[in-house]
Amino acid sequence: MTDLNSLKYTAEHEWVALEGDVATVGITDYAADKLGDVVYVDLPGVGTSVTANEVSGEIESTKSVGELYAPLDGEIVEINDAVVSDPSLVNSDAFGEGWLVKIKVDPAAVEALLDRAAYVALTDDDA
């Protein structure tokens, strides 16, 4: 079970797990819940350069389409084929099997993201 407190977060409801200089990115259970049943994910290709806070893909549910923002600058090194074939993983395991992309990043940039407490406070304000 992922330790949610060890993750970093963004205001666009993404979570980030850093290992060395590779950040694994997904969307939070809060975002997945708001979207409803995810039926399609559109991810950037491996090798694509992404820019922090810019739209890099889409995540589509039965009822709506949400934009996927890159949480950090970097290069996509891996995408989750399992979630492309089975988008419902985002709903069933947002922090685990439902991960979306891995980005090669500057580790220092991850520090600037929200910690668990700050993210939870943000979603409480939203509710």
Q: Does the footprint of other proteins cover residue 65 (CB under 8 A)?
A: yes
Selected binder of other proteins within 37, 54, 78, 106 (CB under 8 A): 37
Instruction: Compute φ and ψ for 50, nearest 5 degrees.
Output: -120, 155
Selected binder of other proteins within 4, 12, 52, 60 (CB under 8 A): 60
Distance CA 48, CA 110 (A): 19
Q: How far is the CB of 120 from other proteins (least distance, A)?
A: 20
Going through 32-93 in order, the beta strands assigned E by DSSP cover 38-42, 49-50, 55-61, 65-69, 74-79
Q: How far is the CB of 62 from other proteins (least distance, A)?
A: 5
Q: Does the footprint of other proteins cover residue 93 (CB under 8 A)?
A: no
Q: CB burial class (10 A; 0-12, 13-18, 19+) of residue 80?
A: buried
Residues that bind other proteins (CB under 8 A): 36-37, 39-40, 42, 58, 60-63, 65, 88, 91
